[in-house]
Amino acid sequence: MHIYLPIAEMSVNIFLILGMGAAVGLLSGIFGVGGGFLMTPLLIFLGVPSPVAVGTEANQIVASSVSGVLAHWRRGNVDFKMGFMLLIGGFVGSTLGVYLFRWLQTLGQIDLVIKLSYVIFLGIIGGLMMAESVRAVMRARGKGHSRGRGKLHQHNWLHGLPFKMRFRKSKLYISALLPIGIGFFVGVLSAIMGVGGGFVMVPAMIYLLGMPTNVVVGTSLFQIIFVTANATFFQATLNQTVDVVLALLLLIGGVVGAQFGTKIGAKLKGEQLRGLLALMVLAVCGKLLMDLVLEPEDLYSIGAIGGH
Amino acid sequence: MASRAIRRGLASLGLALAVAGAAAGAYWFAPTPPPAQAAERLVADLDDHLVAITAGFTGTELLLFGSIDGEGEVVVVVHGPKEDVVVRRKDRVAGIWINRDDATFRGVPAFYHMAATADLQGLDLPETALSRHQIGVENIRLRLMPGQQAEGSESFAEALIRNKVRIGHYTRDPGVVEWRGGRLFRTTVLIPANVPVGTYTVETLLVQGGEVVSAQTTPLFVNKEGFGAQVFRAAHSYPAYYGLAAILIAGFAGFGANWIFRKL
């Protein structure tokens, strides 16, 4: 059964889209990641124009983050004050990101920038996760010696920045510029890559801000809702690249998949889980890298610039 | 004077009105075909003038049929709406393939299909006629945007056609117009699922002795209809409201999903 996507302007098999939503939802449930970084490349591989893939995925992430944050909120795992600070940066960053997106589109370089960003970030994150899980497996086999728990976080120049603020929930006293800066950076990424940015935000919160891990995911989800909503709004108004039909289909598959994924994830071991996710991230990264370095079948490509 | 003005008016409307007593072959040099004078020699129509792209649209096939009076070959040329197309060429920069040079073409038909009762050689048409009526993909008129360098644009023009063929908007090999009992002809035009929307023109030509002696233009409308069309229109006419609606829908869907699975 086919359905015509009004904005992507293509006809797709409805079950394929539902299935993709379910598969990515399942993975995001298992691994506790947003899944945008898998879904956007998948949509592009499927032939959805990359601006539409990015704009639509931002819209879908709004839904999955709302659904995800509620669970964390009930458990009190959201640091709202920190979330708002991240959000200030996120709003500015994602708005700027959409304008940047539009500018790159007119230059004909948007596909390149999307793919390059994916290769770089997936490469870094996938590599780090892989290294981490390999180390952990080695440790578990007793080859390495277990490190004792050190200080909650290290002090460095980042803690010398002005505009210090107290974040009770995160037990932190740091400069407000830090979360604003991180929020800004992730906002730009979110607009250009069509991701929530959790895979950058979460490590940044843990390693740069030194937030306790229990509030990291909830707080990250909380701000992702608003940043992706902002990106959705600007992609819709500036570029008209948000396909609500596609977003809804992905969403339906996604929420169902995520429910089963969470149950499966609970049964798997953390280290193996991280290794698997790392493999997957690196695979997507590899495929995109191939697209960039292998000589394309046709060196020429066409794009319409408005009809009459 | 007045009657000629009316005549011209009717002809430009594309109405195939037969007006007797004019030299048929002379219309060649007239700026705007089709000639009303020769219309009785050729009658053609589509089974449907409207292609509605609805939610379940997976492409369709249109039937073009008609009849001729006398001898001759029939050529059918389908043009989509005109659009500006930018063609980009990738170059290797630091090991990565990056779009470098580009050329923009103006008024390129978004869709092109051609069919005939004979192959191009069999039609025995001069180059001027082939290019005037844009018969065959090689003869599609590709004009550069003003201010663009003409030098080396041929490879970009070729690439444009190659890419259009690849995505199914152009057909390189002419289709077949079949004869049915002497004077009747018919052909099918395949409209793919990713067809561009807009107003198409279907030009049916009658070729006799290496000349186009008669032509008829039939419009074809490709529109989005139903729910999908409303979504598309909303997205383009009221982008801010559309964006807000998209966010609200996603937000409620998120709440809904959370609620449902908490109950289960």
Ordered by start, the domain boundaries in chain A are 2-141+155-293
Residues in chain A: 308
Does a structural domain hold residue B172?
A: yes
Q: What is the ipTM of this complex?
A: 0.83
For A70-84, the pLDDT digits (tens) are 878 888 888 888 899
Instruction: Give the 3-state secondary structure of residue B107.
Output: strand
> Are B145 and B106 found together in one domain?
yes
> Are B259 and B219 found together in one domain?
no
For residue A217 the two structure tokens come to 């995911």
- Residue A49 CA to residue A57 CA, distance in Å, equals 12
**E strand spans, A168-291:** 172-175
> Are B88 and B182 found together in one domain?
yes
The one-letter code for the residue type at B164 is: K
Stretch 30-59 of chain A: residues touching chain B, C-beta under 8 Å: 59
Rounding to the nearest 10 degrees, give the CA dihedral for residues A294, A296, A297, A301: 170
Of B127, B126, B154, which is closest to residue B142 (Cα–Cα)?
A: B154
User: What residues of B are in contact with residue A16 (Cβ under 8 Å)?
Assistant: none
Backbone angles phi, psi at B68, to 5 degrees: -125, 160
pLDDT at residue number A148: 46
User: What residues of A are in contact with residue B164 (Cβ under 8 Å)?
Assistant: 302
Q: With b meaning 16 or more CB within 10 Å and e meaning fewer, what string describes B180-212?
A: eeeeebbbbbebebbbbbbebebbbbbbbeebb
Q: Do B159 and A237 touch (CB under 8 A)?
A: no
> Are B50 and B157 found together in one domain?
yes
Stretch 80-139 of chain B: residues touching chain A, C-beta under 8 Å: 81-92, 95-99, 102, 104, 107, 110
Range of the domain at B257: 225-264
Q: Do B246 and A7 touch (CB under 8 A)?
A: no
For residue B199 the two structure tokens come to 């107003």
A297 touches chain B (CB under 8 A): no
Rounding to the nearest 10 degrees, give the CA dihedral for residues B139, B140, B144, B145: 160
Does a structural domain hold residue B200?
A: yes
Which strands, in side-by-side order, build the sheet including B175-176? B50-53, B211-224, B198-208, B73-79, B112-116, B175-176
pLDDT at residue number B10: 43
Q: Do B239 and A232 touch (CB under 8 A)?
A: no
For B57-74, the pLDDT digits (tens) are 888 999 999 999 888 889
> Are B118 and B236 found together in one domain?
no
Note whether B117 and B111 are within 8 A (CB). Answer: no
Helix %, strand %, coil % for chain A, to 5? 70, 10, 20
pLDDT at residue number A236: 93
Check which CATH number belongs to the domain holding B181 and give it: 2.60.40.1930
Query: Across residues A245-263, what is the average pLDDT?
Result: 86
Stretch 3-22 of chain B: residues touching chain A, C-beta under 8 Å: none
For B137-191, the pLDDT digits (tens) are 888 888 888 887 777 788 899 999 999 999 889 998 889 999 988 789 999 999 9
A303 touches chain B (CB under 8 A): yes
Q: Do B57 and A4 touch (CB under 8 A)?
A: yes
> Are B244 and B150 found together in one domain?
no
* Residue A7 Cα distances to A45, A105, B235, B248, B250, angstroms: 17, 17, 8, 18, 17
Nearest CB partner across the interface for A67, out of B84, B231, B258: B258
| pLDDT < 70: residue spans in chain B | 1-40
Q: Do A71 and B224 touch (CB under 8 A)?
A: no
Does a structural domain hold residue B9?
A: no
User: What residues of B are in contact with residue A10 (Cβ under 8 Å)?
Assistant: 193-194
> Are B61 and B172 found together in one domain?
yes
- The greatest distance separating any two alpha carbons of chain B, rounded to the nearest whole angstrom, comes to 83
Backbone angles phi, psi at B39, to 5 degrees: -65, -25
H/E stretch holding A238 reads none
Note whether B255 and A70 are within 8 A (CB). Answer: yes
Of B67, B74, B101, which is closest to residue B87 (Cα–Cα)?
A: B101
> Are B183 and B238 found together in one domain?
no
Note whether A152 and A210 are within 8 A (CB). Answer: yes
Q: Do A108 and B88 touch (CB under 8 A)?
A: yes
For A95-104, the pLDDT digits (tens) are 999 999 999 9
User: What residues of B are in contact with residue A308 (Cβ under 8 Å)?
Assistant: 81-84, 107
Does a structural domain hold residue B62?
A: yes
Q: Give residue B206's region: left, alpha or beta (phi > 0; psi -120 to 50).
A: beta
> Are B193 and B238 found together in one domain?
no
